[in-house]
Structure 1
Amino acid sequence: MFFRENEKVCLFIDGANLYSASRNLGFDVDYRNLLAFFRKHCNVLRAYYYSAVLDTEEYSPLKPLTDWLAYNGFFLVTKNAREFTDQNGRRRIKGSMDIELAVDMMEIAPHIDHAVLFSGDADLRRLVESVQKQGVRVTVISSVKTNPPMVGDELRRQADQFLDLVDIAPEFTRRSGDNNTQNDIPNPVIPFTEE
C-alpha cells in the first residue's frame, strides 16, 4: 500500500457496495477498526459513508449502524430509497448514491492528496479520472475475488492503486456471525443493493 503519513486523505464508502462485497466474501466490516487502520497509515480528514434508506418502514435495520457511524467519526450521507415491484412481482428497493458521492469528492478534491473509494461501481470511473486531473491520487477498494467480480474493470484500471478487500480484510473485518459485543458496532442486514 502506498499511503504517506502526512498526506491528507478522505474515505468515500459506498455502503451498499461495500456491504455486498464483504457479504460475498464472508465477513463483516468493523467500522471502528477500518477508521483506525487508515488513521494509523495517513492523515484522514474525513470518512464519508453513503447509504440510501427506506423512510417508509417503522424500523430500518440500517438505523443502528448509521447512528453508530454518525457518532463515531463518519460523515453520514443518506437519501430516501425508492420501493417498487419488479416484473416478477418481487419487492425491490432502489437507491443509488453515486451523485452524492461524486459531488462530495469533487468538492473536497482541491483540499486532499488522496481519495480512498470503497466501491466497485464502474460508473465512477469518470469521477476518478476527473479528481486525478486535479492531482489527487485515488485508491479503489473492492474485490475481483468474488464471483462475479464486484469491481468494474474500467474503474480498477483507472485507479492509481487497487486494493482487494480480501487482502486487507484482516485489518478491519470480523467473520460473519462472530460475536459483536466487543465493539458494540451494529451489524445490520441491509435489505437492498444498489442498482
Structure 2
Amino acid sequence: MKLYPNERTLLLIDGASFHASARSLGFDVDYRRLLDLFRSKVQLLRAHYYTAIPEDPEYFAMRPLVDWLDYNGYSVITKPMKEFTDASGRKKFKANMDVELAVDAMRMANQLDHMIIFSGDGDLRSLVAALQELGKRVTVVSTLETDPPMISDELRRQADHFIDLADLENEINRTYADALAKPACNKRDSAATRDLAKIDENEN
C-alpha cells in the first residue's frame, strides 16, 4: 500500500459494495482491525461508512452493526431503502449511496490530502477525477480476484492507486478465534450480512 504517515486521510466505505467484495472473497471484515490498520499508517481524520437502512422492521437486523460502527470510530451515513416491485411482481430494494459519498468527498476535500474509497462502482470515476483535479490523491479498494472482478476497469484506471481487498484479508478478517471470543458480535454480523446481501442482490 502506498500510504504516508503525514497524509491527512479520509476513508469512504460504500457498505454494500465493500461487503459484496469481502463476501466474494470468502471472509468477514473485522471493522475494528480495519480502523486500526489505517490509523497505524496514516493521519486518519475520519472514516465514513455508507449504508441504506430498511424501513420495514422485519429487515432491521443490521441496526446493531450500524450502531456498533457509530460508537467505535466510524461516522455512519444512512438513508432508507427504496422498495419497489419489478415487472414480474417480485419485491426489490434500491439503496445506492453514491451521491451521499460524493457530496461528502467534495465537501471535505480542502481538509484532506488523500481519500481512500472502498467501492468498485464505475459511477464513482467522475468523483475520483474531480478530486484529482483538486490535487488530492485517491486510492480505491476493491478486488480483481473474483470472476467477474468487483471493480470496474474505468474506476481502477482513474484512481492513483488500487488496493486489492484480497491483499488485506490477513490484516482485517474476522478470525476463527475472534468468532469464538465474540459470539454476540458474530450473531450480530450474521444478521447484518443477510440484510446487506439483500441490497447486493438488488443493486446488481
State the percentage of identical aligned residues. 48
Structure with the bigger percentage of helix: 2
Match of 2:101 in 1: 101
1:33-182 matches, within 5 Å, as: 33-58=33-58, 60-174=60-174, 179=179, 181-182=181-182
2-structure distance, mates of 1:86, 1:180 = 41
Q: CA deviation at 1:65?
A: 0.7
With over 3 angstroms needed to count, the CA separation of the structure-2 counterparts of 1:158 and 1:72, relative to structure 1, is same
Partner SS state of residue 105, structure 1: helix
Partner SS state of residue 9, structure 1: strand
2-structure distance, mates of 1:167, 1:116 = 15
Between 32-41 and 144-153, the greater mean CA deviation after superposition = 144-153
* Contact 1:26 1:175 (8 Å CA) reproduced: no
Report the TM-score, using the length of structure 2 for normalisation. 0.90
Q: CA deviation at 1:183?
A: 8.6
Runs of 5+ in structure 1 lacking a partner? Answer: none
Structure with the bigger percentage of strand: 1
Aligned residue pair count: 195
RMSD: 1.9
1:192 pairs with 2:180? no
Q: CA deviation at 1:184?
A: 5.6
Q: CA deviation at 1:47?
A: 0.1
1-structure distance, mates of 2:166, 2:148 = 15
Runs of 5+ in structure 2 lacking a partner? Answer: none
Question: For residue 113 of structure 2, what is the amino acid of its counterpart?
Answer: D
What does the per-residue CA deviation read over 1:18-77, in whole Å, with 9 as the maximum and x for residues that have no partner?
A: 011111110111100000000000111000000011112255121111000000010000
2-structure distance, mates of 1:180, 1:71 = 22
1:4 pairs with 2:4? yes
What does the per-residue CA deviation read over 1:133-189, in whole Å, with 9 as the maximum and x for residues that have no partner?
A: 11110000001111111100000000000011001111111269x726449643122
Question: For residue 65 of structure 1, what is the amino acid of its counterpart?
Answer: L
1:6-21 matches, within 5 Å, as: 6-21=6-21
* Contact 1:3 1:41 (8 Å CA) reproduced: yes
2-structure distance, mates of 1:184, 1:165 = 26
What does the per-residue CA deviation read over 1:94-148, in whole Å, with 9 as the maximum and x for residues that have no partner?
A: 0100000000000111110100000000000000000111111000000111111
2-structure distance, mates of 1:41, 1:18 = 20
Q: Which runs of 4+ in 1 moved over 4 A?
A: none
Partner SS state of residue 155, structure 1: helix
1-structure distance, mates of 2:59, 2:88 = 26
